[in-house]
């Protein structure tokens, strides 16, 4: 291996590690902005001063975890994911597709979720999606529109991909039950807020609605939400 090739490989590895490990470059700026915009969020930032977010750096894993996590608690999702990951081994679409439908079901997946996972892996195989370069440089709208063509990947799953893999700063998953619960507690003093009121409150968080949501999740769950 010559020197140029070695440097290329090392640079690629470093870039992948940076993508995987570092918090978003807008993190501190967003917290300052949101603290000024919303005193309730400012209190959350003080309470969870050491909290930050980073991408796992694995697109397929993020999507599969999002499917697993649909409509169940963080703890329940972690249990199902642990069983699934043990069966799959290295998280690659071809490894998932080697498993039978019943193999997937025995991990605690519903029939629908098992099929959705197969659909996602079929998509990755069909489009030869192997690394971050496939998603790099694209608008979130472009990625979103592609993902929702996969049966089983709806708006919420695509939004989780944007928030936890791409680290998009301004996504607001309006139908997320955790976000709704946190907002009812913090802004409704435990009473149910109307959809219009939830949207009105979230408008003041632009262009950092994702950051607000990450802290809202943190406020109601002892385990970090991470897809």
What is the DSSP secondary-structure string of 199-223? HHHHHTTTT-HHHHHHHHHHHH-SS
pLDDT at position 145 is 98
pLDDT at position 164 is 95
- In the chain, CATH 1.10.340.30 covers 59-162
- Domain 59-162 fold is Endonuclease III; domain 1 (1.10.340)
Decide if 178 contacts 225 (C-beta within 8 A): yes
- Domain 24-53+171-227 fold is Endonuclease Iii, domain 2 (1.10.1670)
The Cα 96–Cα 158 span in angstroms is 20
Q: What is the share, in percent, of the chain residues with pLDDT greater than 70?
A: 90
Low-confidence residues of the chain: pLDDT under 70: 1-22
pLDDT at position 126 is 97
The pair phi, psi for residue 71, each rounded to 5°, is 65, 20
Q: What does pTM read for this prediction?
A: 0.86
Peptide bond preceding 124 in cis form (omega within 30 of 0): no
pLDDT at position 225 is 77
Distance of CA 218 to the CA centre of its chain: 14
The Cα 23–Cα 32 span in angstroms is 15
pLDDT at position 22 is 67
The Cα 131–Cα 211 span in angstroms is 25
- In the chain, CATH 1.10.1670.40 covers 24-53+171-227
**Residue showing tokens 């139908």:** 175
In sequence order, the 6+-apart residues with CB closer than 8 A to the CB of 37 are: 204, 205
């Amino acid at each position: 291996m010559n020197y140029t090739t070695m440097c290329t490989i090392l640079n690629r590895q470093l870039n992948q590690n940076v993508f995987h490990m570092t918090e978003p470059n807008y993190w501190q700026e967003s917290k300052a902005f949101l603290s000024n915009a919303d005193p309730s969020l400012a209190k959350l930032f003080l309470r969870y001063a050491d909290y930050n977010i980073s991408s796992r750096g694995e697109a397929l894993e993020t999507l599969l975890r999002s499917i697993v996590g649909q409509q169940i608690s963080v703890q329940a999702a972690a249990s199902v994911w642990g069983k699934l990951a043990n069966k799959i081994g290295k998280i690659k679409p071809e490894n998932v597709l080697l498993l039978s439908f019943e193999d997937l079901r025995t991990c605690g997946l519903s029939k629908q979720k098992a099929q959705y996972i197969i659909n996602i892996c079929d998509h990755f195989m069909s489009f030869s999606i192997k690394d971050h370069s496939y998603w790099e440089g694209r608008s979130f709208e472009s990625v979103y529109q592609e993902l929702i063509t996969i049966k089983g990947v709806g708006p919420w799953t695509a939004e989780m991909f944007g928030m936890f893999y791409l680290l998009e700063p301004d996504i607001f998953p309006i139908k997320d039950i955790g976000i709704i619960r946190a907002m009812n507690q913090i802004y409704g003093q435990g009473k149910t807020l109307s959809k219009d009121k939830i949207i009105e409150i979230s408008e003041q968080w632009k262009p950092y609605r994702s950051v607000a949501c990450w802290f809202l999740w943190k406020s109601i769950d002892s385990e970090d939400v991470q897809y």
